């Protein structure tokens, strides 16, 4: 994944737990400076190693780290200069989710090593939808749950997410039921 992802993990851990804890996570992960160059595409294994190291050092389940990271991502990208990109994707939660693949297409035109996930919405009502999530990557359902909560904060709605089925069990992508109010 692009270094931007690792930078987001670094900033989140620094801001929530402080510099000392971050340095412990960094040393445990084996990451180097090169892994924190924004537009440099690196090995996914390093990103997973950062999450694993954070889980050990902070004594938190990896699922909590992934959720916190997902929640932080929307705010982080807006701060990092991707605000206009995020704004263009919609002004409500369902609109944004329906436009996410388009957002990734745009980012992918600038950064060809991007391996974007794909999201599709169905059963859309006033306050709920079913979200299908497909990715080349494994084990990131909790990241998506965090992303959805971060979008809830962005659009000022209370979001709740239920994992209906997981790629970990079915091998074919995960399904979430998302409600908001």
Q: Which is nearer to ligand 1DX, 16 or 115 (CB)?
A: 115
* DSSP per-residue letters across 144-180: HHHHHHHHHHHTT--EEEEEEE-HHHHSS-EEEEEEE
CA distances (Å), origin 181, targets 9, 78, 95, 100, 132: 29, 23, 15, 21, 21
* Residue 20 or 122 having the CB closest to ligand 1DX: 122
- Give yes or no for residue 2 binding ligand 1DX (CB under 6 A): yes
Distance, in Å, from the CA atom of 85 to the CA atom of 4, rounded to the nearest integer, reads 15
For the chain, the straight-line distance linking the first and the last C-alpha, in angstroms and rounded, comes to 33
Considering only residues 114 through 153, tell me which ones interact with ligand 1DX, judged by CB under 6 A.
114-117, 135, 137, 140, 143, 147, 151
Closest listed residue to residue 154, CA positions, set 86, 102, 105: 86
By CB under 6 A, tell whether 42 contacts ligand 1DX.
no
Count of H-run helices and E-run strands, the chain: 8, 4
State the minimum distance, in angstroms, from the CB of residue 46 to ligand 1DX. 12
DSSP bridge partners of 41: 2
Q: Is 66 in the site for ligand 1DX (CB under 6 A)?
A: no
Residues in contact with ligand 1DX, shown as a per-residue x/- string from 19 to 38 under the rule CB under 6 A: -------------------x
- Span interacting with ligand 1DX, options 13-21, 52-60, 99-107, 160-168, rule CB under 6 A: 99-107
Q: Where on the chain is the footprint of ligand 1DX (CB under 6 A)?
A: 1-2, 4-5, 38-39, 73-74, 77, 82, 100, 103, 107, 111, 114-117, 135, 137, 140, 143, 147, 151
């Amino acid at each position: 994944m692009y270094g931007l992802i690792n930078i987001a993990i670094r900033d989140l851990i620094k801001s929530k737990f402080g510099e000392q804890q971050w340095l412990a996570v960094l040393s445990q992960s084996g990451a180097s400076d090169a892994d924190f160059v924004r537009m440099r595409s690196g090995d996914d294994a390093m990103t997973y190693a950062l999450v694993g190291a954070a889980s050990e050092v902070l004594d938190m389940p990896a699922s909590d780290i992934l959720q916190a990271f997902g929640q932080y991502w929307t705010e982080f990208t807006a701060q990092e200069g991707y605000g206009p990109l995020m704004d263009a994707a919609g002004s409500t939660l369902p609109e944004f989710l329906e436009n996410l693949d388009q957002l990734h297409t745009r980012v992918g035109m600038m950064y060809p090593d991007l391996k974007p996930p794909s999201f599709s919405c169905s059963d859309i009502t006033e306050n709920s939808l079913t979200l299908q999530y497909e990715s080349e990557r494994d084990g990131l359902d909790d990241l998506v749950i965090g992303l959805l909560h971060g979008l809830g904060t962005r659009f000022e709605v209370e979001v709740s997410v239920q994992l209906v089925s997981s790629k970990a069990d079915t091998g074919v992508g995960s399904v979430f039921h998302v409600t908001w109010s």
